[in-house]
Amino acid sequence: MGSSFGWVVVILLAAIGSFAARPAVATTPTTAPAATAPSSVLPNGSFEHVSGDLPDGWTTGQPERVKVIEENGNHFVRVTIDKPKQTAILSRALAVDPAWKRLTIRARLRAKDLKLGEEGWHEPRVALFFANADGEHVGKWPDVPRLRENTAGWIDREVTVDVPDGAAKLDVQCAVFSAQGVVDFDDVTVSVEE
Ligand SMILES: [Ca+2]
């Protein structure tokens, strides 16, 4: 204990020494490490690859309500629901690596003319459905990127969730559950936390 404390002191002193020895003009212009987005294990979450009306690799049971839209060269997914309390889901399944313990899910969302349903989950959200190898839901329902109101423009949402025990698959769902409105999704990423 005493000797390891001694080593900590030595290392700290060495660190302070090297800091103090740093020249005062240390602001040599370097290529700033840009805030690069963490790598995503979710393919085509930017929706830039398109097949017909849908993004490559994504599926929906409500094709009449889900479309890829291009705006200033950027593609995003628009869910349009013109009647109250309707649902549309665009989903993509991801194999879960057993080494994954926590995931951060990010998305950009935008909404107008939004009318939510009665339940707390009746809203636009990036739903996260963890399933075992048999396709059965596992774990608690995690926090998700969600919207409860209209937005003036794109807004960023981010959550970090635990990977439940037994999870073999994650279904990522850009969804509007039992609501009405026009909801846009873009830049959906899933990053593995160390
Ligand atoms: Ca995009």
pLDDT in tens, 44-100: 999 999 999 999 999 999 999 999 999 999 999 999 999 999 999 999 999 999 999
Percent of the chain with pLDDT over 90: 79
Residue 139 falls inside a structural domain: yes
Cα(74) to ligand 1 centroid in Å equals 5
Domains of the chain: total: 1
- Structural domain of 176: 50-192
Separation CA 32–CA 30 (nearest Å):
6
| Predicted structure pTM score | 0.80
HSE toward the beta carbon, residue 146, CA cutoff 13 A:
14
pLDDT in tens, 112-136: 999 999 999 999 999 999 999 999 9
Residue 9 falls inside a structural domain: no
Separation CA 131–CA 145 (nearest Å):
19
Retrieve residue 68's tokens. Answer: 């890829």
Cα(117) to ligand 1 centroid in Å equals 28
**Maximum distance among all alpha carbons in the chain?**
71
Residue 8 falls inside a structural domain: no
Cα(46) to ligand 1 centroid in Å equals 4
Residue 15 falls inside a structural domain: no
Cα(186) to ligand 1 centroid in Å equals 5
Residue 176 falls inside a structural domain: yes
Separation CA 150–CA 114 (nearest Å):
6
> Residue 118's pLDDT is what?
94
Separation CA 50–CA 147 (nearest Å):
25
Beta bridge partners of 108: 156, 186
Residue 124 falls inside a structural domain: yes
> Residue 194's pLDDT is what?
85
The vertex-74 CA angle with 87 and 175, nearest 5°, equals 15
More confident of the two residues 182 and 28: 182
Cα(137) to ligand 1 centroid in Å equals 29
Cα(98) to ligand 1 centroid in Å equals 29
Residue 20 falls inside a structural domain: no
Cα(133) to ligand 1 centroid in Å equals 31
Please measure the distance between the N-terminal and C-terminal CA atoms of the chain and give it in whole angstroms: 29
Question: Band of the pLDDT at 37, cuts 50, 70, 90?
Answer: low
Instruction: Look up the CATH number of the domain holding residue 115.
Output: 2.60.120.260
